[in-house]
A and B are shown apart, each in its own frame.
Chain A
Amino acid sequence: MKFVLSLLTASLALAQHSAETWTTYGKNTLGWRYSELDQINASTVSRLAPQWMYQTGVPGKHESTPLVFDGMMYTTGPSNYAWALDALTGRPIWSYKSPPPADIDLCCGPVNRGFAVHGNKLFKVNLEGKLLAMDAKSGAVLWEATLEDYKKGYAATAAPLVVKDLVVTGMAGAEFGTRGFIDAYDMETGKRAWRFYTVPGENEPGSNTWSKDTWKRGGGSTWITGTYDPELNVIYWGTGNPGPDLDGDVRPGDNLYTCSLVALDADTGKVKWHYQFTPHDVHDWDSTSDPVLLDLALNGRTVKSVMMANRNGFFYALDRATGKLLVTKAYTKVTWADGIGADGRPIRISGQDPTPEGNKTCPGMGGGHNWQATAYSPQTGLYYFSSSENCMLYYKTKQDFEEGQWYQASTVDRNPSGTGRIVALDPKNGQTVWQFDMVSSPTAGLLATAGGLVFTGDAQGYLIAFDARSGKVLWRFQTGGTIIAPPISYALRGRQYIAVAAGETVMTFALPSQ
């Protein structure tokens, strides 16, 4: 009996993860956002047309990656909303809402980036630092766990990640003097299995990179989903800025493990290695972009690597077994560092830190590449991401810490003439192979497909399909709302779909049926 059950579970899991479905934030746990479907391709994409729209009616930024399996689409919205939609028609089957507390403080809007799934259980976070398990059939809440007290500035926005029998989640709130962590919970009971603090406590390794008790509010939030290598049994997760963001004087030292990539043992949460992209960051350059896991052919050998277009303006590929730097190159204008040294540390250019009067530095506060989902196509071998082309005046000020209050210690002058690009980069050497110039900062995530296409959206509402090799625009559609979420792809009854949230509407596209 037990054998039959486990066989059933295995086949269910297998059916859930296929070319036709989309069952984890990054499509696979390696974070590729690559769909193996090719019905929509360079020769057919010109006929791509809307199929249905679901208007959520919830104001705010829609950043969710929908999950699609068993004929249903599961997606989340701002302000703790979520929906199960019939994937064929867009009709709502159930909905969930849980109004966030009125006194919650959030840096960047009441956003959510989607569900994780295992079997019939869905997992999502709520803004007030909660993790929930829900029944996929009904939307009923099965259990609820509290990550940390929202009144102290903690929040949660990322899609969780399922790793074996654990559900792993990050937190947000580095603008409020919090102390970052990555948590793993037992998916049956909601009991916490382990926690990794991204800022070490007293006498722990790395604690000497903080002064006095500044580690207690050291930031290093973990607001974008990490990735998982089942062979090495390692979780890779990016960490955010140290706190306070712009006044580094109060926290001398490297400030580990902020602005880093951490490699964690999936069973224990113990750190195996870390790589800090920006030691002692003072520009709010979170390293939260998806860590994409790929096997990289370098000098005649294949290296298991992890890559990231970092917010600080540099592309990095690291050996994912050791954390050793393999490839790095600036992909945008960088004025704060003259490359990365042999020791893996940036070669800093002096006079680039924020000042009370304002100091111009490139890239701007949002980066380079920020959090918007990236894509990797094994077909082209290229890595696709968005980049803001922007410099900003950075200011700092003295600010006393008060629990739960905004703790950024000044600001930037935004540059209205900032532009952006979609970049296709060769991870073997960091060279840009093609780029698509945008009139303003890119807003949306990306999707690569076996049809030789790359999809993304823009701030002005266009959903765009590029030729993955050349960057030529093959198709576009004006959706009428800013696209922030990454597009996804799935198949139903023999037809391939592209789905994305635009404005406050979830939309799907497919080729006309024969």
Chain B
Amino acid sequence: MRRATFFVLLAVCQAQDNPFASDPKAAETARPMFRILCAPCHGLTAEGGKGPDLTLGTYNAGDQDRDLYRAIARGVTGSEMQAYAGRLDDKAIWRLVSYIRSVGHKETNPITGDVANGERLFWGKGACGQCHKAGVRGNSIGPDLSLVGRQRSLAYLRASLVTPDADITPGYTTVIVIKPDGTKVVGVERSFDNFSAQLVDLSGRYYSFIREDVTSMKREFRSLMPSYAGTFNDAELNDILVYLTSLRGAK
């Protein structure tokens, strides 16, 4: 009985070891694959974009090879990271793991800041909770930030605070509707199609319009969020970034 258990465990361990761990070419063969599948979110150099920076040597999904394998194969709950097991075979996934390992080199904590002060700024001076949720607090006009520390890289979050128009989270564009009486309704997209628009204005009021009933409706790929470049000084920006990266849901 004990022997059987031992064999099962051994088999599991073997299945979770990277067969290319000692093959220096594996990482290089996966580079083109990384550019096709991963670069759209993690960046051409893996330094992150919309998705996390993969060069830090530490990862949201866990730091072992098997954790990276699992993240690629099954996706990451609570993020936009999809499951690739249906599209990539075992070997291809392990080669990607090798590639990601080969680009990991940076310090694990590139900025220092005061989390507690960041949290105070978020709810106070920044008034971020007017539009965003973090945990149970805040509003649902902009994207929910409860897991944003898992979902976004530090550089992306900094860019979002300073130049909010740089990249718009899908489904959060700005919608502008002109009604027949000339009044204008501006809000955050909830849905937008060829015949109708649904939006929420900054007071949280929900609207639904049919195209024929209004003078015009359009969607703009910009954010209704203001830039915080002039609101926060450098130290405050770091504090709020450290706070945002700490938002990872329950451990």
Contact A411 B36, CB 8 Å, known A105-B89, A439-B219: yes
Chain A to chain B contacts (Cβ below 8 Å), 14 pairs = A103-B89, A395-B35, A397-B32, A406-B32, A406-B36, A409-B32, A411-B40, A416-B168, A417-B221, A438-B194, A439-B193, A462-B194, A462-B195, A464-B194
Q: Which chain B positions have C-beta within 8 A of A120?
A: none
Contact A458 B170 (CB under 8 A): no
> Does B31 sit within 8 A of A, measured CB to CB?
yes
> Does A44 sit within 8 A of B, measured CB to CB?
no
> Does A408 sit within 8 A of B, measured CB to CB?
yes
Q: A414-B40, A458-B193 are in contact. List 5 more A-B contacts (CB 8 A).
A: A103-B89, A106-B87, A413-B40, A438-B194, A473-B195
Q: Which chain B positions have C-beta within 8 A of A439?
A: 192-194, 219
For window 119-143 of chain A, which residues contact chain B by CB distance below 8 Å? none
Whole-angstrom CA separation of A408 from B194 in the bound complex: 33
Q: Which chain B positions have C-beta within 8 A of A105?
A: 87, 89
Whole-angstrom CA separation of A426 from B29 in the bound complex: 48
> Does B44 sit within 8 A of A, measured CB to CB?
yes
Contact A397 B31 (CB under 8 A): yes
Contact B194 A458 (CB under 8 A): yes
Contact B32 A410 (CB under 8 A): yes
For window 390-431 of chain A, which residues contact chain B by CB distance below 8 Å? 395, 397, 399-400, 402, 405-406, 408-411, 413-414, 416-417
Q: Which chain A positions have C-beta within 8 A of B40?
A: 411, 413-414
Contact A408 B36, CB 8 Å, known A402-B29, A438-B194, A460-B194: yes
> Does B39 sit within 8 A of A, measured CB to CB?
yes
Whole-angstrom CA separation of A264 from B236 in the bound complex: 70
Give the bracket for the number of chain A residues in contact with chain B.
20 to 34
Whole-angstrom CA separation of A462 from B195 in the bound complex: 9
Whole-angstrom CA separation of A305 from B168 in the bound complex: 46
Q: Which chain B positions have C-beta within 8 A of A460?
A: 191, 193-194
Contact A405 B92 (CB under 8 A): yes
Q: Which chain B positions have C-beta within 8 A of A216?
A: none
> Does B128 sit within 8 A of A, measured CB to CB?
no
Whole-angstrom CA separation of A460 from B170 in the bound complex: 14
Smallest CB separation, A392 vs chain B (Å): 11
Contact B193 A416 (CB under 8 A): no
Contact B194 A411 (CB under 8 A): no
| Chain B residue at smallest Cβ distance from A175 | B36
| Chain A residue at smallest Cβ distance from B167 | A416
> Does A333 sit within 8 A of B, measured CB to CB?
no
> Does A324 sit within 8 A of B, measured CB to CB?
no
Q: Which chain A positions have C-beta within 8 A of B194?
A: 438-439, 458, 460, 462, 464
Contact A416 B192, CB 8 Å, known A408-B32, A411-B36, A411-B39: no
Whole-angstrom CA separation of A475 from B105 in the bound complex: 58
Q: Which chain A positions have C-beta within 8 A of B31?
A: 397
Q: Which chain A positions have C-beta within 8 A of B221?
A: 416-417
Whole-angstrom CA separation of A80 from B205 in the bound complex: 47
| Chain A residue at smallest Cβ distance from B222 | A417
Whole-angstrom CA separation of A363 from B201 in the bound complex: 34
Smallest CB separation, A419 vs chain B (Å): 9
Contact A411 B193 (CB under 8 A): no
Whole-angstrom CA separation of A416 from B167 in the bound complex: 9
Smallest CB separation, A174 vs chain B (Å): 14
Q: Which chain B positions have C-beta within 8 A of A397?
A: 31-32, 35
Which residue numbers of B lie inside 8 Å of A, CB to CB?
A: 29, 31-33, 35-36, 39-40, 44, 87, 89, 92, 168, 170, 191-195, 219, 221
Q: Which chain B positions have C-beta within 8 A of A461?
A: 193
Whole-angstrom CA separation of A460 from B194 in the bound complex: 8
Whole-angstrom CA separation of A465 from B191 in the bound complex: 22
Whole-angstrom CA separation of A397 from B36 in the bound complex: 10
> Does A476 sit within 8 A of B, measured CB to CB?
yes
| Chain B residue at smallest Cβ distance from A405 | B92
Whole-angstrom CA separation of A399 from B31 in the bound complex: 8
Smallest CB separation, B98 vs chain A (Å): 15
| Chain B residue at smallest Cβ distance from A460 | B193
Whole-angstrom CA separation of A406 from B84 in the bound complex: 14
Mask for A93-112, Cβ within 8 A of B = 1, else 0?
00000000001011000000
Q: Which chain B positions have C-beta within 8 A of A409?
A: 32
Smallest CB separation, B147 vs chain A (Å): 21
Q: Which chain A positions have C-beta within 8 A of B168?
A: 416
Smallest CB separation, A317 vs chain B (Å): 29
Smallest CB separation, B86 vs chain A (Å): 9
Q: Which of A106, A410, A416 contacts B36 (CB 8 A)?
A: A410
Contact B89 A400 (CB under 8 A): no
Whole-angstrom CA separation of A464 from B124 in the bound complex: 49
Contact B170 A410 (CB under 8 A): no
Smallest CB separation, B95 vs chain A (Å): 10
Contact A462 B89, CB 8 Å, known A397-B31, A411-B39: no
Q: Which chain B positions have C-beta within 8 A of A399?
A: 32
Q: Which chain A positions have C-beta within 8 A of B195?
A: 462, 473, 476
| Chain A residue at smallest Cβ distance from B38 | A411
Q: Which chain B positions have C-beta within 8 A of A410?
A: 32, 35-36
Contact B29 A395 (CB under 8 A): no
Whole-angstrom CA separation of A106 from B44 in the bound complex: 23
Q: Which chain A positions have C-beta within 8 A of B191?
A: 460
Smallest CB separation, B222 vs chain A (Å): 10
Q: Which chain A positions have C-beta within 8 A of B44?
A: 395
Whole-angstrom CA separation of A405 from B89 in the bound complex: 10
Smallest CB separation, A59 vs chain B (Å): 11
| Chain B residue at smallest Cβ distance from A357 | B44
Contact A406 B33, CB 8 Å, known A439-B193, A462-B194: yes
Whole-angstrom CA separation of A409 from B168 in the bound complex: 28
Q: Which chain B positions have C-beta within 8 A of A473?
A: 195
Contact B192 A411 (CB under 8 A): no
The 8 residue pairs across chains A and B that have the minimum distance between CB atoms: A460-B193, A399-B32, A417-B221, A411-B36, A410-B35, A411-B35, A397-B32, A438-B194
Whole-angstrom CA separation of A112 from B69 in the bound complex: 31
